[in-house]
């Protein structure tokens, strides 16, 4: 304990709460955060600057983290917090950078915000409304994509969350941007399962961020996800789709929001399969998805991806308002059905600036469970150059090639 205590007392430290949502890891730093100012979008831009971004890298990259690690930096002061529209803000972080939305992080962060009584971390904690009838607490979270309305199951004391019931959030409006668009794959990036075909048909939808959605069968896997034996090879497949969309003007046009003058990047590719999964008594149906986001495969069923898929199904007339569907990940299927997200469209809305199928969308309710797995104090010794900003092992060969010979 002597070494543990001395290391924990280091002057250079960042304290974090670690959680997981259906297997998707979430790290929540609660001290040592950068001093960002202005609106949330201004803070979002500031966070990318090297002097601030080193905090994200230090806690999420190796040797303290890994490619699949997500997190959330709580923002106590945003324009929505000042106006009373939100209780607190958040910047979603991951090993590759920052994102507009992260559903599995939202579910975990929301539990933590109910459980903390530390007003330094969450100044508005005592202002939250606890409903004694439903044993729930309402929370309004200002995210980069907009305002999220969250319901957290709470114990009768009103001060701690209930891990045995689902947390749920209402998304920003989700919508189908394009249905059945053809994506031509460059000859050098085609995969053997594609056969003699030169293109695939995909959908593009928004659930807080944009996703390309394609069935495993469309990619050439006749038996669906069961035929996928090499996830590294699948990375090459989905990256070919993602890159083609981003670099083809007529396809990139499907990733616009009225609030942005430029197209947004496709956040990820969802390979879906309706033939496997596990049903529940409270849902109408199910499907499974392998979600390739950034540089990682989402361990969770992906909250923003759930919104995107529900928007697609609603646009096709395959979902009714209030109809629940279970969304599984590889992990939840392998875990005998434990850990799906349950999603349902709850309100049809107009999408400002939307065209065609994208002119109407839905507010989606997403439900899931998050659990605590640790509380950590990360330190940095002055002589330690390697872990100051961390590293990604897969990027090291390129870094070596860029070095000049000595």
Domain positions in the chain are 2-165, 175-367
DSSP state of 149: E
pLDDT given at position 244: 96
| Contact (Cβ atoms closer than 8 angstroms) between residue 380 and residue 361 | no
- Mean residue pLDDT of the chain comes to 95
Paired strand residues for 26: 19, 70
Exposed / middle / buried, residue 57 (Cβ in 10 Å: 0-12, 13-18, 19+): buried
DSSP code per residue over 36-82? --SSHHHHHHHHTSHHHHHHHHHHHSBTT--TT-EEEEEES--HHHH
pLDDT in tens, 196-209: 999 999 999 999 99
Is 70 exceeded by the pLDDT of residue 184? yes
Q: Domain 175-367: give its CATH architecture.
A: Roll (3.10)
Fold of 2-165: Diaminopimelate Epimerase; Chain A, domain 1 (3.10.310)
pLDDT given at position 173: 98
Residue with tokens 């939202």: 106
Q: What angle do helix axes 40-47 and 50-60 make, rounded to 10 degrees?
A: 80
pLDDT in tens, 316-370: 999 999 999 999 999 999 999 999 999 999 999 999 989 899 999 999 999 999 9
- As a whole number of angstroms, the distance between CA 180 and CA 214 comes to 9
| Contact (Cβ atoms closer than 8 angstroms) between residue 95 and residue 69 | yes
pLDDT in tens, 24-78: 999 999 999 989 999 999 999 999 999 999 999 999 999 999 999 999 999 999 9
DSSP H stretches of helix in 281-324: 303-315
pLDDT band of residue 144 (cuts 50, 70, 90) is very high
Paired strand residues for 21: 24, 370
Residue with tokens 């590294």: 232
Is 80 exceeded by the pLDDT of residue 178? yes
Rg (CA), the chain: 21
DSSP code per residue over 2-30? HHHHHHHT-SSEEEEEEEEETTEEEEEE-
pLDDT band of residue 237 (cuts 50, 70, 90) is very high
Q: One fold for both 2-165 and 175-367?
A: yes
Is 90 exceeded by the pLDDT of residue 279? no
- As a whole number of angstroms, the distance between CA 316 and CA 323 comes to 14
| Contact (Cβ atoms closer than 8 angstroms) between residue 206 and residue 174 | yes
């Amino acid at each position: 304990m002597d070494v543990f205590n001395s290391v924990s007392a280091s002057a250079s430290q960042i304290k974090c709460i670690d959680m997981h949502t259906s297997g998707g890891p979430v790290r929540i730093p609660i001290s040592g955060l950068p001093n960002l100012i202005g609106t949330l979008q201004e803070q979002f831009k500031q966070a990318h600057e090297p002097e601030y971004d080193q905090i994200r890298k230090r806690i999420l990259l190796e040797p303290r983290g890994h490619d699949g690690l997500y997190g959330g930096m709580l923002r106590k002061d945003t324009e929505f917090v000042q106006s009373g529209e939100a209780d607190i803000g958040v910047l979603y972080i991951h090993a590759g950078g920052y994102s507009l939305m992260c559903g599995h992080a939202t579910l975990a962060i929301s539990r933590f915000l109910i459980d903390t009584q530390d007003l330094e971390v969450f100044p508005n904690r005592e202002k939250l409304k606890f409903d004694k009838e439903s044993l729930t607490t309402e929370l309004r979270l200002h995210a980069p994509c907009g305002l999220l309305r969250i319901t957290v199951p709470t114990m009768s004391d009103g001060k701690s969350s209930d891990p045995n019931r689902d947390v749920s959030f209402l998304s920003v409006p989700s919508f189908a941007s394009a249905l059945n668009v053809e994506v031509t794959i460059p000859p050098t990036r085609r995969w053997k399962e594609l056969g003699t075909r030169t293109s695939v048909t995909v959908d593009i939808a928004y659930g807080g961020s944009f996703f390309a959605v394609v069935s495993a069968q469309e990619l050439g896997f006749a038996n669906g996800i069961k035929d996928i034996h090499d996830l590294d090879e699948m990375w090459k497949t989905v990256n070919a789709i993602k890159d083609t969309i981003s670099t083809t003007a007529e396809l990139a046009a499907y990733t616009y929001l009225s609030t942005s003058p430029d197209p947004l990047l496709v956040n990820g590719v969802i390979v879906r399969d309706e033939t496997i999964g596990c049903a529940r008594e409270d849902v109408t149906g199910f499907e499974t998805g392998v979600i390739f986001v950034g540089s990682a495969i989402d361990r969770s069923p992906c909250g923003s991806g759930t919104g995107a898929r529900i928007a697609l199904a609603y646009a096709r007339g395959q979902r009714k308002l209030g109809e629940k569907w279970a969304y599984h990940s590889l992990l939840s299927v392998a875990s005998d059905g434990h850990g799906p997200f349950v999603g349902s469209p709850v309100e049809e809305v107009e999408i400002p600036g939307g065209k065609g199928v994208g002119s109407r969308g839905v507010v989606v309710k997403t439900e899931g469970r998050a659990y605590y797995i640790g509380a950590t104090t990360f330190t940095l010794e002055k002589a330690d150059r390697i872990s100051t900003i961390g590293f990604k092992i897969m990027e090291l060969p390129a870094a070596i090639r860029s070095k000049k010979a000595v």
